[in-house]
Amino acid sequence: MNKTEEKSLKEQIIDAARKVLLAKGYRNFSLRKIAGEIDVSATSIYLHFENKDDLVHTLMEEAIARLNKQLEQKVAEVDDPISKLEALAREYVSFALKHPREYQVIYLISSDEMTRYPKEKFRKARKGYEIVTDVLKEGVESGLIAESRPRLAAYTFWAQLHGVMSVVLSKRLDNRIEQEEFIEEAIDHIIKGYQLRTSL
């Protein structure tokens, strides 16, 4: 690895931070541990990030980008809008199950628990909503979905999915309920909420 290929300290910090987060969870995610991971002093993190929240925001941004990328791929594989909606939901779920800690970084942090997620980054995060919005619009055009405000609906769709995965990941499901069944049922209900109601 020659000089130009070497990762900048900023990149190294991000890598180390991701590693610590995935390995130990947010609760044990500390600047000193991150710094120790790359044999550097904890204070040097401040040369590249405003503070701890700023670093976390960077990880959030990354995780969101990854999720969005996967959603984009999946949605391109199907044709009709209802199937697309289902594909989106399933990919969303699958991401949360495969990368629970990363998923939780995206969401766990709420209003007063952390500095507001900065506006510039938030814009990128909206990509996911755009994908859903487009699918909903498509569905309206082809007469399968009744929805006068697709962007608004995209947010409700997303929120519902998040709620479902949040319950699963925080392990709040009743023992008597099987996780997979729960997810299936939820996806089914969520999609039904957007389908046009006609006689069967």
Site for its own copies in 91-150 (CB under 8 A): 100-101, 104, 107-114, 116-117, 122, 126, 129, 149
Write the burial class of residue 60 (CB in 10 Å: 0-12 exposed, 13-18 middle, 19+ buried): buried
Site for DNA in 20-79 (CB under 7 A): 28-33, 40-44, 46-48, 51-53
Stretch that binds its own copies, among 11-19, 68-76, 137-145, 162-170 (CB under 8 A): 162-170
Length in residues, the chain: 200
Distance CA 62, CA 71 (A): 14
Instruction: Give the contacts of 49 (CB within 8 A, at least 6 positions apart).
Output: 13, 55, 58
95 binds, among its own copies, DNA, none (CB under 5 to 8 A by kind): none
Distance CA 187, CA 160 (A): 9
Site for DNA in 128-187 (CB under 7 A): none
Please identify which residue in the block is written with the tokens 């289902």: 86
Contacts with its own copies, residue ranges (CB under 8 A)? 25-27, 100-101, 104, 107-114, 116-117, 122, 126, 129, 149, 151-153, 155-164, 166-167, 169-174, 176-177, 181-182, 185-186, 188-194, 197-200
